[in-house]
Structure 1
Amino acid sequence: MKTVLLATATLAALLATPVAAQEMAGGQWGFYAGAATDNRSKNASKSDGDPFAFAGAEWESADGAFYFGPAAETIKSGGSNVEAEFAGGWRPQFGGFDFDFNVAHKWRLDSNPGVDDEAWEFTTDIERSIGPASARLQVQYSPDGAGSTEAFTWTEARLGWAFTPRLEGTAAVGYRSQDNAPDYTGWNAGFTYALTDALEAEVRYHSTDIDDLGRQYEDAVVAGISVAF
């Protein structure tokens, strides 16, 4: 938790520096959209096992280090069918490692009265690639999640292998510790295939160690497609 909060504070300080201001004078916008047979986050479903769609836009600085933008996705939670977010971050490189420090504010539209429909999330990714192999460690913290969930921490380790320039396989395992909601371990494994430079397809199996709390935590094979331009 301290690492994530420190990274967030560092990001805020760097964004205020003259160097950051100079880099932000350039940059460009990109857009993405997609759909899948289930909306899985941390291996649990946010759409009650039903298909979902998503879309977003991202501005990236000229050197690719700074970024921000809005996004939205369909969900099923607390009377809401859409979750919107605005996120920004910093992606530096140090000693052969790729870092990503991200801050996101999320809110669920048209939730039932009395439902906690907003959340802040702070995420740190540390990734390293050597040839076709890759590894990533992710730590995410929220002081108060949406819905009945209060503070939570998610820690995940992921390994990947690029079989070809277009086909990659990855597997990940993570643990979610949360207040006012069940702690659990989740894992997933699957493949992504770049159909074109802009279009990507994915098939992934998700599982958790919870088997008695409904469709949200049930095992599922999820297929999806996304486009970015």
Structure 2
Amino acid sequence: MKFFKLALAAATASVALGGAAMAQEVSLSYNVGIASDYVFRGVSQTNEDPQVFGGVDLGYGIGYAGVWASNVDFGADDPSVEIDFYAGVKPTVGTTSFDFAVLYYGYSKDKGLTPGKYSYTELKAAVVQPIGKATVGGALYYSPKYTGDVGSSLYYEVNASYPLNDKLSLSGALGKQDYEDTDGYATWNVGATYAITGNLGLDLRYWDTAEHGWGDIYKSRVAATLKATF
């Protein structure tokens, strides 16, 4: 685990220094959407109820930062709002794209940008490689103190996507969520995304985990998401 953290820090510093010499261009984008269920790593975050979400993203050269918010439902006395902050860099080497970032998942019952009962921080390292029309990738997410009393965590996945035409694409992922102080679980998803317009997309996705015995929110489900970007 120490090796992973050191490697991520070194890679992030290297690409940040390399990006300083690149021409910079500022961009701003927004997104808003609704979903039949908020599913995160195979688990419902809204107790199988609908989701409303939105975010703002700022780009500057290979760097980016943003904020994103959604309703959540973990129980009667638990948070009802999630607000995430993130920043990172997306360098490319040839045809290979990388993504190194820091993400903070904040919840309405916690105060301040520090880990609380629910809130936590993750480090992300991801890579995407086109192969013909398809793209394949992998990602690692490490948290030194995950939400709850499970210690540190590591989520890792492999993913792929393939465009059937200019509007319709298929994609899927296979991942594993591990915790320091308790058992983890495997998760997977497969679905299709349809571009209704250049700014509006519809995603229909099947999600599942290997731990149906942990409760209904871990069981298989199909979620539809309508998202607008501008």
Q: TM-score, normalised to structure 1's length?
A: 0.88
Matches of 1:82 and 1:101 in 2, distance apart?
26
Matches of 1:154 and 1:35 in 2, distance apart?
25
Most deviating of 142-151 and 156-165: 142-151
> Identity percentage over the alignment?
25
**Residue among 63, 67, 71 paired with 1:66:** 63
| 2:171 is the counterpart of 1:174 | no
- Note closer, same or farther for the CA distance 1:92–1:117 as it changes in structure 2 (3 Å cut): same
- Note closer, same or farther for the CA distance 1:69–1:219 as it changes in structure 2 (3 Å cut): same
C-alpha offsets along residues 73-131 of structure 1, whole Å, 9 cap, x if unaligned? 1112361011111101110111321111111112111259xx61321111111111123
Matched residue, 1:20? 20
Instruction: Name the amino acid aligned to 2:86.
Output: A
Matches of 1:12 and 1:46 in 2, distance apart?
34
Matched residue, 1:138? 139
Matches of 2:167 and 2:140 in 1, distance apart?
27
- Note closer, same or farther for the CA distance 1:209–1:148 as it changes in structure 2 (3 Å cut): same
Matched residue, 1:221? 222
Matched residue, 1:76? 73
Matched residue, 1:116? 117
SS of aligned partner of 1:6: helix
Instruction: Name the amino acid aligned to 1:68.
Output: A
Shift of 1:148: 3.4
Q: TM-score, normalised to structure 2's length?
A: 0.88
SS of aligned partner of 2:204: strand
Q: Are the equivalent residues in 1 in contact too, given 2:15–2:91 (CA < 8 A)?
A: no
Give the alignment's Cα RMSD to 1 decimal: 2.3
Matched residue, 2:148? 147
Matches of 1:216 and 1:143 in 2, distance apart?
25
Structure 1 segments of 4+ aligned residues over 2 angstroms from their partners: 1-15, 17-24, 147-150, 179-182
Q: Are the equivalent residues in 1 in contact too, given 2:53–2:68 (CA < 8 A)?
A: yes
- Note closer, same or farther for the CA distance 1:95–1:79 as it changes in structure 2 (3 Å cut): same
Where structure 1 has 5 or more consecutive residues not aligned to the other structure, the ranges are none
SS of aligned partner of 1:47: coil
Matches of 1:181 and 1:108 in 2, distance apart?
22
Most deviating of 90-99 and 141-150: 141-150
Matched residue, 2:43? 44
Instruction: Name the amino acid aligned to 1:147.
Output: G
Where structure 2 has 5 or more consecutive residues not aligned to the other structure, the ranges are none
Aligned length: 224
Q: Are the equivalent residues in 1 in contact too, given 2:90–2:98 (CA < 8 A)?
A: yes
Matches of 2:21 and 2:71 in 1, distance apart?
34
